[in-house]
Structure 1
């Protein structure tokens, strides 16, 4: 009888460990590959509340996170390109002699030109880099030109930002974020996200920070809310005239007289189209609440459906 019980216990234990290893493999497939906190959370979920497995995850997970951090640092040293600005933006470790030349904090300035082809953008980026000075760290990313401005001298930082704005001349966007030098990569990500939301919301060329898109940022961070908003505005894409009207209304900051002039239509024609927009979307663009929802829906739809 005892032998049977032991065999059953072994079978149960083996089955439990097998199920745990299966969940761990699934967690590995779900892991994004960066962030030890996220890794620890995934492993804790795989333990499924089992006290013994949870303790195993706690001790073993910490060792694994330390191991991966050491490996990442080693890989980063190997991958260092030698381009200091690019290495900082990519989050790579820089050589000690380079680190000594860096300021403790930086203003990350992301510049994106409006309506320019690749060759013209490259020429404009080169001219801007020359204008702000060769000593300023700069590199190009998929989102645009990144300039790293030391923020230890507030007056110089302000002058540089003013210089960038003047150089843009209303023909592009400037997004800024301030970070310690070890968090420059995070600052670039923030600036890129702000730029994405600014462009998705059809905001005019100019200078922006995260404070200008807090509502939009909150909307796209909530997957369920963003999905509902995108679904709300999606049917309007099948009505070209109504879609054009809504875009013109947003571009005119919901000023109906200005919208009618820009569309070269009579005000009564515009009012009829706005009624049709309300019927299709369920949101009345002539009300403050409706305007807010439609703008949020436009951004959510652009980000989700078109990968803006």
Structure 2
């Protein structure tokens, strides 16, 4: 017979649900109800609806946020499948480097601004992005990011679009762009995607970026041996959670010890001690220019290395 709290439970008591089971069951009921009401077609909209169903419960909200990207990836895959079976996903084909039928290719604008957007939190609406990109823009999703191909009149003409797209981030996301002629759009997408990856890995603040903003990181991480050697420098720090959090906060605060100490809610002397320990573990002193540059590049390389 089942026992709990030092006593045996009767068969009837054993069958009763626990408060935790009731909580999850109530959430699942709300999710089913939300599904019956949902009329949208964007993954972001669905994640927002599920977040509302969590009703502010921290545990359930964490589940929704953790599963948001998986849900989006699943729906992206489904949309690509249905696109292949029905209407063509031109933006998806361009991103994946798939050849287009001659009539479709000839219908493209001669030049495009390629924008790859990642919001800091899943569930953000993409309608604002779609609106500022214009009706002739092509939109798809890849790896949890929003991908836009926006017609451009010529080199540099996409600056106004970048400004508008950046406003849509609301200070809580990143935007990487590249410009290419229509024959090289796949290459432009790859460049913008890699720039975005470096920006996020490098703990850069919210904003718009191009390859010119990450030239050093781009160069060192494209070289496999350099990338591997850099990752090896930072990897031992992963075994020291407090030191890893201290270093990322230090980089995030643009190497300001005062700001980093405040962000970590520790005394400045405690931060200084941790920075010395980081130097001991990695062999690079983060308080020097050379050491900070090395460790920042190593953080990016380790993230790219996966």
Cross-structure match for 1:47: none
Separation (CA, whole Å) in 2 of partners of 1:240 and 1:285: 17
Question: What is the alpha-carbon distance in structure 1 between the residues aligned to residue 208 and residue 151 of structure 2?
Answer: 18
Report if aligned partners of 2:132, 2:161 keep a CA contact under 8 Å in 1.
no
Give the CA deviation at 1:271: 1.0
C-alpha contact 1:80 1:92 (8 A) present in aligned 2? no
The correspondence for 2:93, drawn from 72, 87, 100, is 87
**Runs of 5+ in structure 2 lacking a partner?**
1-83
2:196 is matched with 195
TM-score by length of 1: 0.67
Residue in structure 2 matched with residue 185 of structure 1 by the alignment = 186
Shift of 1:98: 2.7
Question: Does 1:248 find its partner at 2:249?
Answer: yes
Structure with greater proportional helix content: 1
Which of 107, 121, 126 is residue 101 of structure 1 equivalent to?
107
Specify whether residues 100 and 224 from structure 1 end up closer, same or farther in structure 2 by C-alpha distance, changes over 3 A only: closer
| Aligned equivalent of 1:72 | none
Given the superposition, is the C-alpha separation of residues 178 and 264 from structure 1 closer, same or farther in structure 2, using an over 3 Å criterion?
same
SS at match of 1:177: strand
TM-score normalized by the length of structure 2: 0.68
Q: Alignment partner of 2:248: what SS?
A: helix
CA deviation after TM superposition for structure 1 residue 154, in Å: 6.7
- C-alpha contact (below 8 Å) 1:165/1:174 kept by paired residues: yes
Aligned positions, number: 223
Higher mean alpha-carbon deviation, 170-179 vs 136-145, is at: 136-145
- The question of whether the paired residues in 2 share the 8 Å contact of 1:104 and 1:180 is answered with yes
| Distance of 2:181 and 2:155 partners within structure 1 | 15
2:173 match: 172
Q: Which stretches in structure 1 are left out of the alignment for 5+ residues?
A: 1-77
- CA shift digits 1:155-193 (9 cap, x unpaired): 863322221111111111110011110110111111111
Contact in 1 for aligned 2:128/2:168 (Cα 8 Å) = no
RMSD of aligned Cα (Å): 2.1
SS in 1 for 2:180: strand
Aligned to 1:138: 139
Q: How much has 1:80 moved relative to structure 2?
A: 9.9
How is 1:1-308 mapped onto 2 (pairs within 5 angstroms)? 82-116=88-122, 120-121=123-124, 124-142=125-143, 144-152=145-153, 157-304=158-305, 307=306
Is the contact made by 2:243 and 2:278 (CA closer than 8 Å) also made in structure 1? yes
Specify whether residues 159 and 222 from structure 1 end up closer, same or farther in structure 2 by C-alpha distance, changes over 3 A only: closer
> Quick check: 2:111–2:154 contact (8 Å CA) kept in 1?
no
Distance, in Å, in 2 between the alignment partners of 1:233 and 1:156 is 40
